[in-house]
A = this chain, B = another copy of it.
Amino acid sequence: MAGDKKLVEAITSMSDDFAQWYTDVVKKAELMGYSSVKGCMIFKPAGYALWENIQKELDRRFKETGVENVYMPMFIPESLLEKEKDHVEGFAPEVAWVTQGGLNKLQEKMCVRPTSETLFCDFYKDEIQSYRDLPKVYNQWCSVVRWEKETRPFLRSREFLWQEGHTAHATAKEAEERTQQMLNVYADFCEEVLAIPVVKGRKTDKEKFAGAKATYTIEALMHDGKALQSGTSHDFGDGFAKAFGIQYTDTDNTLKYVHQTSWGLSTRIIGAIIMAHGDDSGLVLPPRIAPIQVAVIPIMQKKEGVLDKAFAVKEQLLRAGLRTKIDDSDKNPGWKFAEQEMRGIPVRVEMGPRDIEAGQAIVVRRDTREKITVAIEELADKIKDILDVIQKDMFERAKTHRDEHTYVATNYEEFKDAVANKAGFIKAMWCGSRECEDKIKEDTTATSRCMPFEQEKLSDVCVCCGKPAKSMVYWGKAY
């Protein structure tokens, strides 16, 4: 394939320039391309295949909790967007407006959905009449548009892909439980499938979603010590229900407002996979999400029998359920290794004439580069074990990195020093005031990531103002 030369050219090293390393990996692992539509990206096959696996895995977990998928229109009439005051203030400045349909100017302009709360509410107000219609636990997979000024592949672009769940419940308690349940689905998915440890917690009022009563988040730490918000779940209480008039007749024959939630996870998470696991040779994919898990690379493939055996091994691994490809191109093995490493394929199987004669092959782990000699007939079983170990090790390494880059600050000097000189999460007490949150951001650029569910009492007073503390907060620079 053309482009191979580019593919295995050295990429910028992480320690030299993390942002450039990220861009290099995205480009050379062929995850994404730039389009001539300003601010919009192209998901190439390797990038989209990751999203397909994420969808498959999350969708299964959603459905196990009773979620049903639907699809709502991509447009929101201006009057509908404006129905909930906080919501419109949060989103109106960053939407794309359709003003013309066909050859005619529209009577009312419509935005391309930046998120679909208003559409679901408009639907629910007619759909929900009785307690028998509840709960509604709907989700959609779609693209949304937010008119961002600066864009970066996966992390921020004018159009991105996501899922957005929107539920309606009879009681406040049930809505709150669903909010937490979906946060846990996200957290388990990130940890079990993506091997990314997350901190679960609640957003401060400053950082919560426009229109929400409470926003919960999972926050992950990247290699460079910056935080990445990886999924959010919002409890709306009955705020939207009151704005849209979504009422139901309860068992006691009285009219009540529903309580709602929404929750979303986007293609941004692919940025997290890259930045939590990648290294200076490229992408490192956790086996459970890798579109290709095994690359079979024949050595001296022109020698009789080598290619035949390599193809036989590929079939053997495919039959065992391992996502396998073979590289039988005429490139030399070194280039093939570099390409497998750039693309983050969890293991490669090297096999040359001498290996085959000895009835064995060399399995090389992408994450550690450890080489393991395995009898050919045992390859499938052994590789499965190795992939399990890789998955576990990747999580443990990411967790160790996260823990080693989580700092405690008990006074403002320590806090400022930590932000300036240590990259990572900073745990510090907070009085709960917007003023301190604003001041911290202005002084240090760090923002509150979340008030973690697992609270610790680090001191009695706010790290910023010294007044009595209300909660411990994770702070950090964020993507």
Chain A residues with a Cβ under 8 A of chain B: 1-3, 33, 35-37, 40-45, 48-49, 51-52, 68-77, 80, 93-103, 109-110, 112, 119, 122-123, 126-127, 129-130, 132-133, 138, 142-143, 145, 147, 158-159, 161
Report the bound CA distance from A133 to B52 in whole Å.
24
The binding surface of chain A is classed by DSSP as mixed
Given the complex of chains A and B, what is the CA–CA distance between A97 and B71 in angstroms? 22
A100 touches B99 (CB 8 A): yes
- Give which listed residue, B40, B44, B132, contacts A75 with CB less than 8 A: B40
Tell whether, in the assembled complex, residue A102 and residue B98 are in contact, meaning their CB atoms are under 8 Å apart.
Answer: no
Q: Which residues of B contact A41 (CB under 8 A)?
A: 73
Q: Tell whether, in the assembled complex, residue A73 and residue B123 are in contact, meaning their CB atoms are under 8 Å apart.
A: no
A35 to B119, CA, bound (A): 8
Determine which of B35, B42, B73, B138 lies in contact with A35 in the assembled complex, contact meaning CB atoms within 8 Å.
B73
Residues of B within 8 A of A74 (CB): 40, 74, 112, 143, 145, 159
> Can you list 11 A-B contacts with CB-CB less than 8 angstroms, sorted by A residue number?
A1-B132, A2-B130, A2-B133, A35-B72, A43-B70, A48-B71, A71-B161, A94-B102, A96-B102, A99-B100, A101-B158
Closest B residue, CB atoms, query A59: B52
Supplied contacts A43-B70, A75-B159, A98-B112, 6 more A-B pairs, CB within 8 Å: A35-B122, A40-B75, A42-B123, A94-B102, A96-B98, A98-B99
Closest residue of chain B to A126 (Cβ to Cβ) is B33
Asked whether, in the complex, the Cβ of A99 is within 8 Å of the Cβ of B102, the reply is: no
Please give the distance in Å from A20's CB to the nearest CB on chain B: 21
> Which of chain B's residues have a CB closer than 8 A to the CB of A161?
71
Q: Which residue of B lies closest to A35 (CB)?
A: B73
- CB pair B93–A68 under 8 Å, yes or no, is no
A45 to B52, CA, bound (A): 21
A64 CB, nearest partner CB in chain B, Å: 13
Cα-based distance from A150 to B332 in the complex (angstroms)? 60
CB distance from A142 to the nearest CB of B (A): 7
Q: Is the CB of B98 within 8 A of A69?
A: no
Q: In the complex, which residue of chain B has the Cβ closest to the Cβ of A43?
A: B71
Residue among A48, A76, A132 with most chain B CB within 10 A: A48
- What is the chain B residue whose CB lies nearest that of A1? B132
- Interface-central residue, A72, A101, A119, by most chain B CB under 10 Å: A101
Bound Cα distance A41, B72 (Å) = 7
Partner of A40, one of B33, B37, B73: B73
The answer on a CB contact under 8 Å between B103 and A96 is no
Q: In whole angstroms, how far apart are the Cα atoms of A52 and B140 in the complex?
A: 12
In this complex, what residue of B is CB-closest to A80? B36
Measured in the bound complex, the distance between the Cα atoms of B132 and A142 in whole Å is 34
B98 touches A71 (CB 8 A): no
Residue with the highest number of chain B CB atoms closer than 10 Å, among A44, A96, A159: A96
Q: Given B80, B123, B132, which contacts A33 in the complex, CB threshold below 8 Å?
A: B123
Query: How far, in whole Å, are A45 and B99 apart by their CA atoms in the complex?
Result: 31
Name which of A52, A72, A93 has the most chain B CB atoms within 10 A of its CB.
A72
The answer to whether B69 touches A2, judged by C-beta atoms less than 8 angstroms apart, is no
A98 to B44, CA, bound (A): 25
| Residues in B neighbouring A75, C-beta threshold 8 A | 37, 40, 96, 159
A55 to B69, alpha carbons, bound, how many Å?
A: 13
Minimum Cβ distance to chain B for residue A163 (Å): 13
Residue of B nearest to A125 (CB): B36
State whether A123 and B48 are in contact (beta carbons under 8 Å apart), knowing that A2-B129, A99-B100 are contacts in the complex. Answer: no
- Cβ-defined partner of A48 (8 Å) among B37, B70, B96: B70
Expressed in whole angstroms, the minimum distance between the Cβ of A120 and any Cβ of chain B is 10
CB distance from A164 to the nearest CB of B (A): 14
> What residues of chain B lie closer than 8 Å to A99, measured between beta carbons?
97-100
